[in-house]
Chain A
Amino acid sequence: MIVKDAVCPFCGCLCDDIEIEVEEGRVVAVTNACELGTTKFMGEKRMKNPILRDGDEWKDITYDEAIRCAADMLLSAERPLLYGWSGTHGEAQCVGVHMAELIHGVIDNTSSVCHGPSILAIQEVGHPGCTLGVVKNRADLVIYWGSNPIDAHPRHLSRYTRYAEGFFLENAFRDRKVIVIDVRKTQTANVADEFVQIKPGGDYAVISALRAIVQGKADMVPRTVAGVTKEQLIRVANLCKNAKFGAVYFGLGLTMTQGKYKNIRNAIELVSELSRHTKFTISAMRGHYNVYGSNEVNTWMTGYPYGIDFSRGIAFYNPGETTAVDILARKECDAALIVGSDPAAHFPRKCLEHLAEIPVIQLDPYPNATTAFCDIQIPVAVTGIDAEGTAYRMDGVPIRTRKVLSTDYLSDEEVLSRMYALMQEVREQ
């Protein structure tokens, strides 16, 4: 059986033109997806059944036992942390928010360690963004700043920018210029028309210099800024001003370095300066396929995009205090529910030392680094493979992922709903 127009559940590009060949309940071939997506569709190393840590051993348990035990653990906690949510569908995220409210927990998603700082900047100065289709069809200048799509979003260049056709561009490959600004000369830099290499930590200064030049104050700019020559800065500023439609895509090279959200704020303000001369937009290269969705779901349900603390009975948001890394490093939470992410692989060690001391429940299809810290892991169906649900693309467009094969695994939404129902029963007593 061939499933056409399947949606790839790997990165924020959420490519929706994938063809999957299924034989005897297994994916045997994948067409159109990149290497990252193909490997995910073909992945077979699933955990077979829920497991419970019993001293220094792992015991197989049933779904009923696992769900009951997980609900009890979370109900007994005073300050539970519900973290992850980017690797699952919106319907499961909704249940997660209800659960956090019921048990007065903190719910945070992986954006706190990816584009959380970008959201902080957007809250300060707004987001002049657009959909990927607008960029594909109109942009004659694309800037990748601190992002390396060849490794992280492999089809971004072929579907929307460097190698894409554009409705309003006669010869898109010739007419569309690509600038890469980075501290490393990445593979993406090699396919750019212009590569601007910045000294690490120099992004803020380079953005400020470009803003000055765009404002007509080039004489204020020194001969080099963070390793970039004034000549190159002026050339880049002119390319931007002379473009008919420019688009900036920024990655974690801006959010994870010194300055963090201030870098993004400055970049958004540069785009706002450029929009006085021409049309310019800026958007984040979102990583997980549904990390944008976790921000959307949290925002419409609580008013805040991530790091939401229900301990007061109402939603409270203070990144740096109510975000997962901080809560774990301060040894503040006394239980954790992890859904659709792997904090043990991606958080600093101090956070893991605390995970080792508290009850941890994980919903994940695969054994991963966090498994080692779990008391219970419940394997679930993979959204986009054997479960369906809504995900948000990096430009905020919701796309319904499809189920390409059927298995006996429950979806995240089903497991969470059953846990939530048990919790409600206990709380109502």
Chain B
Amino acid sequence: MTFLMLTGRTVNQGVTVENKTSAEYAAETSTCFMHGFDMLELGLDDGDTVRVTGPCGDVVMRAAASEEVEMGTVFVPYGPYANHIVAAGTCSTGMPDFKSHRVEIEPTDEEPKMVHELMEDLGGLAYDR
């Protein structure tokens, strides 16, 4: 199913932001907040994993029901998971479209990667696993 992906700050993202190698930061920024009906449509329970595919690739996240998002929209806290699929185009403003990406979401059996694994996939070397 196609969704509009928004990204933004959450308290839990802010609390863990200076500890990016922690499991808590990975868990928060890999959460895909969805409307309950959309989860029903995709056969998802809270905590099930989903593959989110954007214009630049795909990433595995965990779905969570939220009353804050409308049907057809998903919300992902700022971080390396959302940015793994966000395009770098800025329309000559310097600012990517962090809040207006169309993404495909489908259930998957894969687990979300850790932050350092995502960085290693892009050519980095993990320091603190």
Q: Which residues of A contact B (CB under 8 A)?
A: 10-11, 35-36, 39-40, 43, 45, 51, 53, 56, 58, 108, 112-113, 116-117, 120, 148, 150-152, 154, 183-187, 197, 200-201, 252-253, 255-258, 260-261, 287, 306-307, 319-321, 323-326, 328-329, 342, 344-353, 355-357, 365-369, 371-374, 377
Given contacts A200-B6, A325-B94, 5 further A-B contacts (CB under 8 A): A151-B10, A348-B83, A357-B123, A366-B20, A369-B20
Q: Which 6 A-B residue pairings sit nearest by Cβ, starting from the closest?
A: A356-B123, A372-B124, A323-B94, A320-B92, A372-B119, A329-B88
Q: Decide if B4 is an interface residue (CB 8 Å cutoff).
A: yes
Q: Is the interface of B mostly helix, strand, loop or mixed?
A: loop
Give Cα A123–Cα B84 distance, bound, in whole angstroms. 32
Asked if residues B92 and A321 are in contact (CB atoms below 8 Å), the reply is yes
Asked if residues B100 and A201 are in contact (CB atoms below 8 Å), the reply is yes
Give Cα A341–Cα B57 distance, bound, in whole angstroms. 25
Interface string of B87-98 (1 = CB under 8 A from A): 111111111111
Interface string of B1-27 (1 = CB under 8 A from A): 000101111110011101111100000
Q: How large is the interface on B (under 10, 10 to 19, 20 to 34, 35 or more residues)?
A: 35 or more
Closest to B75 in A: A184
Asked if residues B57 and A323 are in contact (CB atoms below 8 Å), the reply is no
A255 contacts which chain B residues (CB < 8 A)?
A: 95
Please pick, from B69, B93, B123, the residue contacting A260 in the complex, using a CB distance under 8 A: B93
B111 contacts which chain A residues (CB < 8 A)?
A: none
Given contacts A307-B94, A371-B127, whether A184 and B68 have CB atoms under 8 Å apart is: yes
B91 contacts which chain A residues (CB < 8 A)?
A: 260, 320
B89 contacts which chain A residues (CB < 8 A)?
A: 329
Q: Decide if B63 is an interface residue (CB 8 Å cutoff).
A: no
A349 contacts which chain B residues (CB < 8 A)?
A: 56-57, 83-86, 88, 122
Given contacts A120-B93, A184-B6, A184-B75, whether A372 and B126 have CB atoms under 8 Å apart is: yes
Give Cα A429–Cα B53 distance, bound, in whole angstroms. 53
Given contacts A320-B90, A349-B57, A369-B80, whether A260 and B8 have CB atoms under 8 Å apart is: no
Asked if residues B119 and A369 are in contact (CB atoms below 8 Å), the reply is yes
A365 contacts which chain B residues (CB < 8 A)?
A: 18
B20 contacts which chain A residues (CB < 8 A)?
A: 342, 345, 366-369
Asked if residues A152 and B14 are in contact (CB atoms below 8 Å), the reply is yes
Asked if residues B88 and A350 are in contact (CB atoms below 8 Å), the reply is yes
Q: Would you give the shortest CB distance from A290 to chain B, in whole angstroms?
A: 15
Q: Would you give the shortest CB distance from B129 to chain A, in whole angstroms?
A: 10
Please pick, from A257, A326, A368, the residue contacting B90 in the complex, using a CB distance under 8 A: A326
Interface string of B108-129 (1 = CB under 8 A from A): 0000000110011011111110
Asked if residues A320 and B93 are in contact (CB atoms below 8 Å), the reply is yes
Q: Would you give the shortest CB distance from A263 to chain B, in whole angstroms?
A: 11
Give Cα A116–Cα B88 distance, bound, in whole angstroms. 16
A108 contacts which chain B residues (CB < 8 A)?
A: 94
Asked if residues B73 and A183 are in contact (CB atoms below 8 Å), the reply is yes
A356 contacts which chain B residues (CB < 8 A)?
A: 122-124
Asked if residues A116 and B93 are in contact (CB atoms below 8 Å), the reply is yes
Q: What are 23 of the A-B contact pairs (CB < 8 Å)? A: A39-B14, A43-B18, A45-B21, A56-B125, A112-B95, A151-B10, A184-B69, A201-B100, A252-B8, A258-B97, A260-B91, A319-B93, A320-B94, A344-B119, A345-B29, A346-B79, A348-B56, A349-B85, A366-B19, A367-B21, A369-B80, A373-B119, A374-B127
Q: Would you give the shortest CB distance from A120 to chain B, in whole angstroms?
A: 7
Give Cα A108–Cα B90 distance, bound, in whole angstroms. 15
Q: Would you give the shortest CB distance from A11 to chain B, in whole angstroms?
A: 8
Q: Would you give the shortest CB distance from A256 to chain B, in whole angstroms?
A: 4
Asked if residues A344 and B93 are in contact (CB atoms below 8 Å), the reply is no
Asked if residues A151 and B85 are in contact (CB atoms below 8 Å), the reply is no
Interface string of B54-85 (1 = CB under 8 A from A): 00110000000001111001010011100111
Give Cα A348–Cα B97 distance, bound, in whole angstroms. 10
Given contacts A184-B69, A256-B99, A366-B19, whether A112 and B94 have CB atoms under 8 Å apart is: yes
B98 contacts which chain A residues (CB < 8 A)?
A: 113, 252, 256
Please pick, from A45, A372, A374, the residue contacting B116 in the complex, using a CB distance under 8 A: A372
Give Cα A117–Cα B18 distance, bound, in whole angstroms. 26
A201 contacts which chain B residues (CB < 8 A)?
A: 100
Q: Would you give the shortest CB distance from A321 to chain B, in whole angstroms?
A: 7
Given contacts A319-B92, A351-B88, whether A371 and B128 have CB atoms under 8 Å apart is: yes
Give Cα A36–Cα B9 distance, bound, in whole angstroms. 11
Q: Would you give the shortest CB distance from B23 to chain A, in whole angstroms?
A: 13
Give Cα A256–Cα B8 distance, bound, in whole angstroms. 10
Asked if residues A10 and B14 are in contact (CB atoms below 8 Å), the reply is yes
Please pick, from B8, B18, B95, B123, the residue contacting A40 in the complex, using a CB distance under 8 A: B18
Closest to B55 in A: A348
B84 contacts which chain A residues (CB < 8 A)?
A: 349
Q: Which of A51, A320, A374 has the most CB of B within 10 A?
A: A320
Closest to B10 in A: A151
